[in-house]
Amino acid sequence: MPAVLHMVCGKIGAGKSTLTRRLSAQPMTVLLCEDDWLARLYPNEIHAIADYVRCAGRLREAMAGHIEALLTAGMSVVLDFPSNTTSTRAWARGVFEKAGASHVLHFLDVSDEVCKARLRARNVSGEHPFETTEAEFDQITRHFVVPTADEGFDVIRYG
């Protein structure tokens, strides 16, 4: 079976991490979780959106070759990295194309109200490495770009 790069697109609280855990249960599949890597590499350094953007960009740069190597070796990779903008999706495209791998973009199309309710519950649980306020949700969501057919991804949409 050819290696597949699974990408996820959805607002904060849409269910991306839940879906990626399920996808990664397949044989010969590895899960890479951005939040876990960021929390370990940059402990107590991400306090604002600008911090996240800087650190996540560094992480993507560092991981691209590793992800490509996994795909080239025949391992499927589930990226629990938000593919929420055309630029982050273009980065992922570069990785799977360079590896000659297949891809799927999983788009979780969930309303702001549902996402915010899940976000509040997640913040209360304390189980997530980062807390996000509703104001931060609104600020981050302004940058969210729904994938379009013009981008040429194989999309599975979850409503």
In order of 26, 32, 64, 131, the CA distances from 49 in angstroms are 33, 21, 22, 12
pTM: 0.91
Checking if the pLDDT of 131 tops 80, the result is no
Closest CA to 13 of 156, 135, 117: 117
Q: What is the pLDDT of residue 81?
A: 96
Q: What is the pLDDT of residue 129?
A: 67
Task: Give per-residue pLDDT as tens, 34-89.
Answer: 999 999 999 999 988 889 999 999 999 999 999 999 999 999 999 999 999 999 99
- Is residue 85 a contact partner of residue 145, using CB atoms and an 8 Å limit? yes
Task: Give per-residue pLDDT as tens, 134-146.
Answer: 888 999 899 999 9
Average pLDDT, the chain: 94
Q: Return the percentage of the chain with pLDDT > 70, whole number.
A: 98
- Is residue 22 a contact partner of residue 148, using CB atoms and an 8 Å limit? no
Checking if the pLDDT of 117 tops 70, the result is yes
- Is residue 17 a contact partner of residue 80, using CB atoms and an 8 Å limit? yes
Alpha helices in 6-111 (DSSP H): 16-23, 34-41, 49-72, 86-99
User: What total of structural domains would you count in the chain?
Assistant: 1
Q: Which structural domain, as residue segments, surrounds residue 145?
A: 4-158
Q: For residue 18, what is the domain's CATH number? A: 3.40.50.300
Name the pLDDT band for 124 (thresholds 50, 70, 90).
confident
Checking if the pLDDT of 22 tops 90, the result is yes
Angle at 68 between CA 110 and CA 20, to 5 degrees: 25
